[in-house]
Chain A
């Protein structure tokens, strides 16, 4: 079996301790949580951090709770807990949609939301989910914390706003009335990365869309945030024709690369189809909530 190169290892016992260790070890140290993105890369020798800071014991970062008009999720929360959370399913059902098709059950027992977001692979479903949900993230450093909008979190391929010496600590989702959401994904086989996936969150007032969040996975160098499609929907009545139009915008506004999963035209086509489907289901769920 392929095995990682040697590294130093420290196990964090507190968040402050983890931050202090990162400061001490410098930029060639990496935080590791579930490790299901980092360890495979290390086994293939594509990543060779000099040191790992294991944050798996920071249980204070594992939570999903309602607080101050938001749902707040600790960064160490495992995929399986996001999948099972009834609180999350009630307010943001797209999380369960996504988790049902993220990787596979044993991987979901270890992988974390923080790890997924920080990996910043364009194919990460949760990045699109959080982007569509208009999430904010809390980034901790030794000096204090700062809050960053999801729109500003993914800076480039595999690159986020988390700087050296910082740790992603929390994800915050806005709780507003009239919300409905869905995540739609097409993959070649269960557990695979998406060929394309669409996350949609709608906040509705009667039949009218007051706010929309739409994001795509796997069809660009990073998560695609469809602000133009969101603008198209804002203030309008939910209707199949409107969603079809949004789908066309989605097809046009993404930048898929050809690869083993599909050619460019197919991925663009999927982006459109899945955006439409996600919006339809999101609207139906929003209306159900109100009813």
Chain B
């Protein structure tokens, strides 16, 4: 690799260590792996959204010369695997037995010698269905005549998936609204969309009948948690399960759940004693894996004396046919109640109710920070609606209503404690970068000539880095993460973490943390991850928790090692540890800088036979499980500039200015890259990505021909800025950031579209996606909610 002139030791724009294998085409993704004797699985899926299964005839498939087995629910029942528990304490069918409950639901699993034969065999399985009435609209799921979807559950009387969850205070809020100067209300939908990473989900299950060891290869954002789940679901010994994630071609929350295909592959391998590979195709990915959002919201916001004063939100959450959303146990609606956003609000009342529908299960995915995307979209749309009603500039209203710097740490009325923030400063940086006043002038000029140009703002605060063990667990597993650090006799190091990269650059950034704390160059720090046998227990990477939790763990363990190094150095230098001071890589005597010991000298000493300090064992390593004291609260000011063709209603994002504050930045290059990617996703969500269904429950966007993802021609040259307001409780002062761009950008774009159309066409709300057809309908005065 080319030599870098300026190579930071520690934080800074270090080029990535992991790039080499990817640019050479030597990545190790799931479908690249071949094991001796490996066979291939394929899933037969239901064409119906809701139907009784009358019969399944697998005889023709079994007669295919290359087919080894065809598994149905009946076979799984004998293993106790026909149903599995979900992360939300519900159950989900692994293979449908009594009936199918969404189009694309798993009905049978074929195992064949190769992928082409497995696909052929799917056409040879004959299933007789008896269609049932379908409900795909969350607003209709609780109608008295709606079909009962979960008749498999004894106490289920309707399609309620999870009872109403509340936060805030109703009477305080009612009072605020009663006394308000201005009140606005909106029905706002965050449509169903999909994280659609470029690599689909898949698994290789390799059970060794002689040893009882189950090796699993799986692109998986939470390998340790999966292991625990498999042990529970399949009655296997947890310590005999090893999960190895290699390289993952994107996660974005899509690779968090345990999917039926995984369980089928595991069951197949246990029964057959050979490795079973299953990799889904793209339409399976879009139709059956964890979707995102699908929140139907009604909100009211009010102002008093020119400031935002109160917020009421009522949500119907569509969870699909099984409740498999992922969030900490005590937060069944995730972190949606962070919906007061960046504003100093005493009065808020939030209610969220979840329903079942005849659609795929999921809801928490796609960089959502556990529903913060929905919350921020809601509040930032409502602030604009309120500003519109008050006839004030949307930035002015925000500035007047922000939580002030001196109010931090700030306790929100819905139970969060924001750690640090200087919102107005970040907003001003964004305004300067955008040239806000000039943009407003240009908009007025264009409008006078019949042009349509919009400027949209969003200022988000989100909470990431779950989380403190006393509040946050998933399936009873505390959301803590560990780090093991070993400095070798050579002075080089290995750090093992439970975070799981899917492209976020962990091999570089975690090495940088060790480098920052210990002065060992990043190229001499190897980051181990993705193998449950080689890494400490932790809950993985999603919800932007890598830096807040695993990053905290690595900092803490590095400091433990540094402290031990101090003791050893004191013995080496024959002085007291209190007389030593640290500069990166070296302990030396205060006032006598020549007299010191470098970290590699200390390491060599630690492993040698020379005396160790009293009470200390040999070696130079450390171990920690980090329990974060709180979430971290990154924030940002985003400004979108759009142009709309007045005749065709095509929307173009001309500029996007994003100023993020995620505290201390370990690698600004990596942070910027994460922001770019999330902004592109936000453009996709705002303008073109949606999963729609017809009345029969047919999914109309089950391929990349109709589930549209932005290309390089729809994304502008993003303009990034930053402010740095450290996190007071994080060992490095850092906050998470990976999801911020997806959280903050959709409302900025939608606000821009409405800003373009409000004065000339009277548009005061429009649901995503803002496709040309939907924008045009709004311009005609006929905006429609999405299906």
Contact = CB atoms under 8 A, between A and B. Distances in A.
Interface of A: 1-3, 5-6, 45, 104, 186, 188-192, 195, 260-263, 266, 269-270, 273-274
B648 A273 contact: yes
A188 B709 CA distance: 10
A188 B772 contact: yes
A270 B116 contact: no
B582 to A, nearest CB: 54
B647 interface: yes
24 contacts: A1-B115, A1-B281, A1-B282, A2-B119, A3-B116, A3-B119, A104-B711, A188-B688, A188-B708, A188-B771, A188-B772, A189-B709, A191-B711, A192-B705, A192-B708, A195-B772, A195-B773, A260-B701, A260-B706, A262-B771, A262-B773, A266-B773, A270-B648, A274-B648
Contacts of B692: 260
Contacts of B706: 260
Residue among B119, B771, B773, B777 with most chain A CB within 10 A: B773
Contacts of B705: 192
A189 B701 CA distance: 14
Residue among A5, A6, A188, A270 with most chain B CB within 10 A: A188
B527 to A, nearest CB: 32
B115 A3 contact: yes
Contacts of A45: 123
Nearest to A189: B708
Nearest to B118: A3
B40 to A, nearest CB: 11
Interface string B557-592: 000000000000000000000000000000000000
B146 interface: no
Interface of B: 115-116, 119-120, 123, 281-283, 647-650, 688, 692, 700-701, 705-706, 708-711, 713-714, 771-773, 776-777
Contact of B688 (A3, A6, A189): A189
A269 B776 contact: yes
10 nearest A-B residue pairs (beta carbon): A262-B773, A190-B713, A273-B647, A189-B708, A266-B773, A3-B116, A186-B648, A3-B119, A190-B711, A266-B776
Contacts of A270: 648
A243 to B, nearest CB: 13
A48 B119 CA distance: 14
A186 B772 contact: yes
Nearest to A269: B776
Contacts of B708: 188-189, 192
A255 B649 CA distance: 21
Contacts of B776: 262, 266, 269
Contacts, number: 56
Given A192-B708, A260-B701, A186 B714 contact: no
A273 B776 CA distance: 13
A190 to B, nearest CB: 4
Nearest to B684: A189
B777 to A, nearest CB: 7
Given A2-B119, A190-B714, A263 B281 contact: no
A262 B772 contact: yes
Contacts of A190: 711, 713-714
A104 B708 CA distance: 14
Contacts of A3: 115-116, 119
A266 B115 CA distance: 43
A186 B708 CA distance: 15
A263 B648 contact: no
A190 B710 CA distance: 8
Contact of B700 (A186, A195, A260, A273): A260
Contacts of B710: 189
Contacts of A5: 120, 123
Given A104-B711, A188-B708, A191-B711, 18 more contacts: A1-B282, A2-B119, A3-B119, A6-B120, A186-B772, A188-B772, A189-B688, A189-B708, A189-B714, A190-B713, A190-B714, A195-B772, A260-B701, A262-B771, A266-B649, A269-B776, A270-B648, A274-B648
Contacts of B772: 186, 188, 195, 262, 266
Nearest to A6: B120
A112 B3 CA distance: 46
